[in-house]
Amino acid sequence: MILVICPNPSVDTLMEVGKFAPATGNRAHSEEHYPGGKGVHVALAAAEYGEKVCLLGFWGGPTGTWIKQQCTLQGIECIGPFLEQWNRFCITISQDGPFNETELLGTGPALEQGHLNECYATFESKLEEASIVVLSGSLPPKCPVDFYKNLIHRAHAYDKKCLIDTTGEALKQALEAKPMGIHLNEHESQQVTGTSDIGQIMERLSEHTNLQIITQGAKGLFLGTSGDIFHAKVKLNQVLTTVGSGDCLVAGIALAICKGYDNLDKVKLGVAFGAANCLRKELGMLYKKDIDFLLPQIRVNKPAANYD
């Protein structure tokens, strides 16, 4: 079972607009709503591929109830504290213009100590069942920056592997607990390490983790482990959205770890998951049939220096 932690779930709203002008009203042509938050995307992707998933979050108000319902419909077990304040909204603009895939990200409900205590207890109650723990996304207001660090230490007490995907001080704190793996996009990896050289990025991150997962958009995935660097990508004829692709990629790698895949197959499955998300209009979602279609097409290079 994959245990996914999503402290800040959201209702993701996709709004299609024509012209988008500042300081005036802009009317959407259509809008659609999806369960969101990075960890929710991870959970949905893994569940779509048939993996058993447990999703731990802070569920707030009517929006939290709706997000849980949508995840439950996909066979995901949803656990964690319920709050009166609503979970956030995140809005993505879709248009043929410069504002395409512009995102407005809500903050989420403010936590209290009782919510945290319940979360920690619920987390520990599920660790025995978990094959891997994925900790993903931003922290809601009043959530301590050492939240992920705390959970990783608790997971290590049960000898569980952890994958972390977050930013800022929460990431800095989490790395002190030495999670098994980390996922960063190109910009985040350069911010954290102070370099754009992929070899140096991997070397610096390896001081804190055994598995480094760096995504660089159309350039593909770089995976570092034990001094080796793998690179993989796949050519797509059409991209409907990239929102949530990194989260789906993390789901693929987490699933590959659960199944004991070697590094080559970890890379392939991760890229297939991330690319499959691009083929579906719904934000942060994918189809199993697209993953299976893409897997044979993925190019893997080792050493990664030959990726061009």
Q: Residue 308 — pLDDT band, cuts 50, 70, 90?
A: very low
Task: Fill in the amino acid letter for 71.
Answer: C
Q: Residue 160 — pLDDT band, cuts 50, 70, 90?
A: very high
3-state secondary structure of 82: strand
The pLDDT assigned to 214 comes to 97
What residue ranges define each of the domains in the chain, with the CATH number in brackets?
2-17+30-306 (3.40.1190.20)
What whole-number distance in Å separates Cα of residue 10 and Cα of residue 67? 7
Which residues, other chains included, contact 107 with Cβ-Cβ below 8 Å and sequence gap of 6+?
A: 88, 140, 141
Does 182 have pLDDT greater than 80?
Answer: yes
Q: 303 vs 179, which has greater pLDDT? A: 179
Q: Residue 135 — pLDDT band, cuts 50, 70, 90?
A: very high
Does 267 have pLDDT greater than 90?
Answer: yes
- pLDDT digit string, tens, across residues 54-68: 999 999 999 999 999
Instruction: Show the DSSP H helices in the chain as ranges.
Output: 38-48, 61-73, 113-126, 147-157, 168-176, 186-193, 198-205, 245-258, 263-278, 288-294
Does 52 have pLDDT greater than 60?
Answer: yes
The pLDDT assigned to 16 comes to 92
Q: Are 34 and 285 in contact (CB under 8 A)?
A: yes
The pLDDT assigned to 304 comes to 57
The pLDDT assigned to 241 comes to 86
The pLDDT assigned to 303 comes to 61
Q: Are 74 and 22 in contact (CB under 8 A)?
A: no
Nearest one of 171, 119, 167, 111 to 141, comparing CA atoms: 111
Element (H, E) at 184: strand 181-185
The pLDDT assigned to 281 comes to 84
The pLDDT assigned to 243 comes to 87
Q: Tell me the mean pLDDT in the region 248-254.
A: 98
Does 22 have pLDDT greater than 60?
Answer: yes
The pLDDT assigned to 302 comes to 76
- pLDDT digit string, tens, across residues 108-126: 999 999 999 999 999 999 9
What whole-number distance in Å separates Cα of residue 38 and Cα of residue 20? 27
The pairing of strands 53-57 and 77-79 is: parallel
- pLDDT digit string, tens, across residues 226-247: 999 999 999 998 888 888 999 9
Q: Are 252 and 274 in contact (CB under 8 A)?
A: yes
The pLDDT assigned to 307 comes to 44
Does 263 have pLDDT greater than 50?
Answer: yes
The pLDDT assigned to 306 comes to 46
Q: What angle do CA 214, 220, 224 make, to 5 degrees?
A: 35
The pLDDT assigned to 161 comes to 98
Mean pLDDT of all residues in the chain? 94
215's tokens: 């995504």
pLDDT exceeding 70 applies to what percent of the chain? 98
